Amino acid sequence: MLAIFDVEGVLYDAEYLPLLAEKVNKENQIWEITKKGIEGKIDWVKGLEERVHLLRGIDYDTCVEVANSLPIMTGAKEACLALKNAGWKIMAVSGGFTIITDRLKKELDLDFIYSNELVFKDGKLDDVVVNVDADKAKSAMIKVNEWDEKKENIITVVDGANDVKLFDITGFGIAFRAQDLVKDLATVTLDEKDLSKIVGLINSHYNLKLELQASV
């Protein structure tokens, strides 16, 4: 069994670039583009590049500081622990960056993460290398094939329009505090801000008995 998660808004209770933008008073511009991207109103890669370029020149230490300040979503540790204890694999596919996802691998014991990469020049933010575009399923399928996971045994937990192609490769899609478009395409929706609640949904769908325990 495999669980695939989006990162910002799902495993993290925050969006990275708008927080980083606050450091240079550009949060309104960044949020505007971010929202359009999440809602599927602009080309996702173009929107990502546009946002990073607006923040060019921010120093590396500030980027790291903001990345390390992102709060992990309520219930995320408990949910991941329950899945890992039951022998599941966990993958995250993020339109965000390694600077925020590397920490999750350790803290949530994830098996693999696909994400993009910020480029720094002379210690300042300069550009972005896009590894994950709006078709997140394309990235996820590399590991799905390698791990030989069957579609019916894969669950996806996402919130944005740029995530919905993941539903095509999964048997059980959970829209977590999501856009209406995402809710329409998901198997179930979870609006409560507690990721541990996915465990009950998984148990009901697959007739399992995954157990929640307090995270250490």
Rounded to the nearest 10°, the torsion over CA 68, 12, 95, 62 is: -20
List the chain domain ranges: 2-12+72-206
Structure tokens at 189: 């929706």
Q: Is the pLDDT assigned to residue 216 strictly greater than 70? A: no
Please state, as a whole number, how many other Cβ atoms lie within 10 Å of the Cβ of residue 14. Answer: 16
CB 170 within 8 A of CB 150: no
pTM above 0.85, yes or no: yes
Report the interhelical angle of 27-38 vs 44-54 (nearest 10°): 170
- What CA–CA distance (Å, rounded) separates 110 from 65? 22
CATH superfamily for 2-12+72-206 is HAD superfamily/HAD-like (3.40.50.1000)
Element housing 139 (H / E): helix 136-147
Max avg pLDDT among 26-30, 179-183, 186-190: 186-190
Q: For the residues 146-173, what does the mean pLDDT come to? A: 95
Q: Is the pLDDT assigned to residue 173 strictly greater than 90? A: yes
Q: For the residues 76-90, what does the mean pLDDT come to? A: 97
HSE at residue 216, side-chain half, CA atoms within 13 A, is: 4
pLDDT of residue 214: 64
> How many helices (H) and strands (E) are present in the chain, helices listed first?
9, 7
Q: Among 37-51, 101-115, 119-133, where is mean pLDDT lowest?
A: 37-51
